[in-house]
Chains A and B, each alone.
Chain A
Amino acid sequence: AQSVAQPEDQVNVAEGNPLTVKCTYSVSGNPYLFWYVQYPNRGLQFLLKYITGDNLVKGSYGFEAEFNKSQTSFHLKKPSALVSDSALYFCAVRDWGGGSQGNLIFGKGTKLSVKP
């Protein structure tokens, strides 16, 4: 069965410092991985995806994620955090049992707090 784990409920970072939000996955097929961000009172917003190719994926707002097959991880990173990055971050993996419409399985989310 496919699953995604986000081991941290909350990550606290000072503005200007690098940030990492962790995600590990378990899939029975090819790992199609996604990161979404949710700002307060908003829906989820797509940040980036890994389908195939380079292990380092670049996305919106300066975020990137590194796919590591041996560690089954897909951690989200940013070299220099901004206060405006404070939000809820979700890792997701495509559910290969979900048919062609490609359902996503989401992690429970990690709250990122960036302090000035």
Chain B
Amino acid sequence: ETGVTQTPRHLVMGMTNKKSLKCEQHLGHNAMYWYKQSAKKPLELMFVYSLEERVENNSVPSRFSPECPNSSHLFLHLHTLQPEDSALYLCASSQDGVRQNIQYFGAGTRLSVL
């Protein structure tokens, strides 16, 4: 176990549904990340939160909405997704200000959009 827990592990949703992905870290870190992993494509950084404030949004469509209520929890709210949004969504955490910046990843949520 890496200390980063993601739920659910698998999610199937229709294009009109609203769902949320949850990430929780037990490492005492103060930075959290959402990544999208699609087949045969590099890992795509979606959102970064540092000290509970969003510091980066890499041109992600508005149908993805992140929320970071505290330093241990990160959500990704999903609505009106498209089939091309089907992917593995990974959450990671790290300690801001530490130059080595090792990121610790959860096991991911496998999302299928029908």
Residues of A within 8 A of B33 (CB): 103
- Please give the number of chain B residues whose Cβ is less than 8 angstroms from any Cβ of chain A in the complex: 32
Main secondary structure of the interface of A (DSSP, over half): loop
Q: How large is the interface on A (under 10, 10 to 19, 20 to 34, 35 or more residues)?
A: 20 to 34
- A51 to B98 alpha-carbon distance, docked (Å): 12
**Contact in complex: B4, A99 (CB < 8 Å):** no
Mark out the residues of chain B between 43 and 78 whose CB falls within 8 Å of any chain A CB in the assembled complex.
Answer: 43, 45, 48, 50, 55-56
- A99 to B33 alpha-carbon distance, docked (Å): 14
A80 to chain B, nearest CB (A): 26
Proximity string of chain A (90-107) to chain B, C-beta cutoff 8 Å, 1 when within and 0 when not: 100010001111111011
**Contact in complex: B43, A100 (CB < 8 Å):** no
Spell out A's residues near B (CB within 8 Å): 32, 34, 36, 41-46, 49, 51, 90, 94, 98-104, 106-109
